[in-house]
Structure 1
Amino acid sequence: MTIAYQANDPATPGAPLDITPLPDPKPPRVGFKVTKLPPEKVYPLGTVEHVAWAAREAALRAVKAFEECAGPLPGWQGKPALKTLNLIPDAGDQLNAYYDRASLSFFHKDVNGKPLLSGASADIVAHEAGHAILDALRPDLWNVATMEASAFHEGFGDCIAVLTALADKGLREAVIKADPKLAKANHVEAFGEALSVGIAAIYGASHNAAKPRHALNDFRWAFPATLPDDGKPGVLINEMHSLGQLLSGCYYRILLGVFARTAGGEAGLWQATKVATWLLAQATIKAPVKPRFFQSVGRTMLIVDQAAYKGANSPAIRAAYRHHNIDIGSSTFLAPSVALGPVASGFAAAGTKPVGAAGAKTVGAMLDAGEGAKVGYRRVEFGARAVAVASVPRAVDLAGLDPRLAGAVAVSPQEAFVGEDSNGNAAMLGAVDAGAAISAEVRDFVATLLRRDDIAFDKPKRGGAGAVAGPDVKTHAVKAARGKAAQLERISFACGCRGRHPA
């Protein structure tokens, strides 16, 4: 049996092909449960039945491509027992698509007299699957209330869309034929062309998302709070999807830098894609959460590359981040900064806590751990070298931002590397971010959510905002727990690029 499938966005060159769909993954691999999946056959384009199979195929291809590059996912949300995620091909009438931990959900909208179904776009489906993939790798990022952590999530989704397109041999051959060095814009590095047409038609050509996002871009990093809240297409703004293009830009330029060292052709392009994806995945898994999270991942990637490839890809990594004005040149990222006494017995072999009681107390003091706060440790390895990421959740008071947030907090961790110095003693490695800096980043981010009317102060709706959500759809909610301060929490990733919500 066959289905109709287009390996990119419906607005890009090439008609859908009749293909044999991928089978459901066998345990222990992760997969999807598609709502109301019809019998397998070729359905007319623009029907929900067609979209059900097309969205299923794109989601499975995204996971398959990622796992071919970076290894099996541990389970959705990082939970080994959670192997199935719901996929809803058509959840209603909106210009929308989102990931909310329970599902990948897609929608339909009439645009210029024709139905635009977000689930028909392999770009959009792969992007949403990218959120789920990142949530499987780093579930702790889900609720980090800073702009760069949120933008990283969105940029990672775009990276997975690029990866999924380049995993298709036919698309690789087509872009190589058009431009052997991939130096020009193309339909693989562009994201969601059909959706952008719909956004322009409904919300106007001046909307920031009225043109596709691009991985091949020249955006330059700046402090998010210094960027405008709104801007025409092609303008970098203080919004997570717009800022996410900094990550997809770095990924794509690393890919091109690695590609330049291959023999070329579609095989060389796939080889480069696999290397760039593996580097991104490893750096993402191991990087400590910092206010400057793009920089943290870039610096971690250099360490990963040195351990795995003896630094062969480091020139491409440095050039890519430099192009986007992200400084990853510090050589002190793993340099000892604070002595912590003897290394805990067994850490080098298998343990996760690298310090004894006295050292742990110093780590807690350096990370501003308050009374009763517990320092958590997770082990990461760079080749033969093992270090730990020490982490303390930092609850930031949101008083003064909005009367409805009085008494509420938002959380971002304070993290740093801990490991051995050259003499075999335990030490904190690299700089430790000031607590005040983290608090400022959190409050700036929450202020952007308020300006966009993205916080549910009443009972939150399931899911969240999507590609262009209506004003009633939110991305965050304030949740109260008995005996604890109310906390601002994410309820979905809003996969669109909204401007400032009108007052």
Structure 2
Amino acid sequence: MDLNAFYTRGGGGEPPGLHFFHEAVTGRVYFSGESPDVACHEMGHGVLDAIRPQLFDAQTIEAAAFHESFGDMSALLSVLQVQSFGQALLNETGGTINHASRLSRLAEQLGAAIRVQHPDAVDRDCLRNACNSFFYRDPQTLPPSAPASQLSSEPHSFSRVFTGAFLDALAGIFRVQGKTPSPEGLVKASQELGQILVGGVLGAPVVPDYYSQVAAHMVQIADGAPFGRKYRDILKSCFVRRGILSLQAAATLSSVKRRIVGSSVRLERAGSEGRKLPTASISAAQYGLNRAALKVYTAGEPKRFAVTSSSLTLGPVEPRSPQNAAESYTEDLFQRGHVDVGAHAHRVAGLTHPFSFKTHMIVEENGELLLKRTTFDCGFDHKGN
């Protein structure tokens, strides 16, 4: 029993699908699957894996963090399809839906249960709050874990940067739906932003600085049919204010010729089916493995837009190489104990983390060790800490 939920393709001893669990905390049993936010989050993992399967094994922090953000964004969009919830949200926020509210506070009850056991692991009023002020930082400069009040390279933590920008964009798109806020306007705003998000995912290449590529493609889609530039400036503003797009990137996008969205999305979707990411070898000795090299899938697809995120000093951040990004994320995974090394640990130098939840495993293919993901968990299991 634990306070966890996860999505898996299968493997690692688990059948494919969405998995939910429960645990008694101070005399009350909490079921992770009882939360619509958690259920929609896990379904979001499955949807994203279906439309962009290359992200599953991509060894880069931003790809993993975006998967978590997509789960939270799915929860936000799903609940807005319920008109009674929409009306209650408008009553609570007065129409400014990027304020802290029952919409922005994700998985409140589950967050409360985790807070009893680990007070600094979640936000003070929920699991994660989409209403936040986090600004983009190069994730490779962040610690692998941190309290919920701070940003780290752990995917759930770093996901909050993109989710915060998304909630701001949703609020902006809702504001231009009409003079009188209505649940119908919320539904329309959520559905149109959902289309833009999926289009951005389909078009964006899997690269180390994945956030900026998704953002750039979303801006380009909002610039074309059927949206007719109506949401372009809203999206650019939200991504620039969060540092996901640098000022230089936003200016570059303004000069790029608009695309016809319908045909470009279809072509890019068809071209991505069945394509695997390239692999690279990294040193395995530092991870306590019994081989010299470990193969990983790298985020090495060709970019379509020469844009990056913002630096904390001046100008855009310098993008990392796929090899460097893979080495950094792999180190994070081993430090957090998320890799099942199986029989591949060195008999003296090996490190196994026997009680931590495993999201990846080492397998042997064609005589070489390969790091593969088995699941996206939701970070609720703290038994191994």
Name the TM-score class by shorter chain: 0.7 to 0.9
Counterpart position of 1:375: none
Counterpart position of 2:302: 416
Distance 1:122 1:431 in 2: 36
Distance 1:287 1:436 in 2: 17
Query: Could you list the per-position Cα deviations for residues 101-157 of structure 1 after superposition, in whole angstroms to 9, with x for gaps in the alignment?
Result: 211010110011011111111111110001001011111111001100000000000
1:111 aligns with 2:25: yes
Letter in 2 for 1:409: K
The answer (yes or no) to whether the contact 1:255–1:275 under 8 Å persists in 2 is no
More deviation, 380-389/166-175: 380-389
Q: Which secondary structure state, in structure 2, belongs to the residue aligned with residue 486 of structure 1?
A: strand
Counterpart position of 1:493: 376
Query: Could you list the per-position Cα deviations for residues 167-226 of structure 1 after superposition, in whole angstroms to 9, with x for gaps in the alignment?
Result: 111110101011122242011121111111111112x21224664211121101101121
Distance 1:142 1:482 in 2: 21
Counterpart position of 2:133: 218
Distance 2:329 2:380 in 1: 15
Number of equivalences:
346
Distance 1:498 1:104 in 2: 16
Distance 2:148 2:17 in 1: 29
Counterpart position of 2:12: none
The answer (yes or no) to whether the contact 1:452–1:499 under 8 Å persists in 2 is no
1:94 aligns with 2:2: yes
Counterpart position of 1:195: 110
Aligned 1:2-401 pairs, distance under 5 A: 93-101=1-9, 102-179=16-93, 180-202=95-117, 204-208=118-122, 211-263=126-178, 264-308=181-225, 309-327=227-245, 328-331=249-252, 382-383=261-262, 393-401=278-286
Shift of residue 276, structure 1, vs aligned partner: 1.0
Distance 1:401 1:319 in 2: 42
Query: Could you list the per-position Cα deviations for residues 307-351 of structure 1 after superposition, in whole angstroms to 9, with x for gaps in the alignment?
Result: 222321111101111221111415269979xxxxxxxxxxxxxxx
Query: Could you list the per-position Cα deviations for residues 461-496 of structure 1 after superposition, in whole angstroms to 9, with x for gaps in the alignment?
Result: xxxxxxxx993420100010134x211000100211
Query: Could you list the per-position Cα deviations for residues 408-432 of structure 1 after superposition, in whole angstroms to 9, with x for gaps in the alignment?
Result: 11111422257xxxxxxxxxx7489
Shift of residue 262, structure 1, vs aligned partner: 1.2
Distance 1:448 1:226 in 2: 12
Percent identity, aligned pairs only, is 25
Distance 1:459 1:431, change over 3 A: same
Could you list the runs of 5+ residues in structure 1 that have no partner in the other structure? 1-92, 337-379, 419-428, 461-468
Distance 1:391 1:98, change over 3 A: closer
Distance 1:183 1:470, change over 3 A: farther
Shift of residue 381, structure 1, vs aligned partner: 6.7
1:456 aligns with 2:340: yes
Q: Which secondary structure state, in structure 1, belongs to the residue aligned with residue 150 of structure 2?
A: coil
Q: Which has the higher helix share?
A: 2
Distance 1:414 1:186 in 2: 39
Structure 1 runs (4+) greater than 4 angstroms displaced: 208-211, 332-336, 383-392, 429-432, 497-502
- TM-score using structure 1 length: 0.63
Q: Which has the higher strand share?
A: 1
Distance 1:498 1:297 in 2: 29
Letter in 2 for 1:447: E
Shift of residue 242, structure 1, vs aligned partner: 0.8
The answer (yes or no) to whether the contact 1:209–1:496 under 8 Å persists in 2 is no
1:441 aligns with 2:325: yes
Distance 1:456 1:283 in 2: 33
The answer (yes or no) to whether the contact 2:30–2:110 under 8 Å persists in 1 is yes
Shift of residue 500, structure 1, vs aligned partner: 12
Distance 1:225 1:442 in 2: 10
Distance 1:436 1:190, change over 3 A: closer
Bigger relative contact order, structure 1 or 2, given CA contacts below 8 A and separation 6+?
Answer: 2
More deviation, 174-183/109-118: 174-183
Distance 2:195 2:101 in 1: 23
Letter in 2 for 1:268: G
Shift of residue 391, structure 1, vs aligned partner: 7.8
Counterpart position of 2:348: none
Distance 2:31 2:82 in 1: 22
The answer (yes or no) to whether the contact 1:335–1:430 under 8 Å persists in 2 is no
Q: Which secondary structure state, in structure 2, belongs to the residue aligned with residue 196 of structure 1?
A: helix
Letter in 2 for 1:394: T
CA RMSD of superposed structures (Å): 3.0
Shift of residue 452, structure 1, vs aligned partner: 0.5
Distance 2:72 2:235 in 1: 18
The answer (yes or no) to whether the contact 2:162–2:244 under 8 Å persists in 1 is no
Greater Rg by CA: 1
- TM-score using structure 2 length: 0.82
The answer (yes or no) to whether the contact 2:208–2:319 under 8 Å persists in 1 is no
Letter in 2 for 1:406: A
Distance 1:335 1:252, change over 3 A: closer
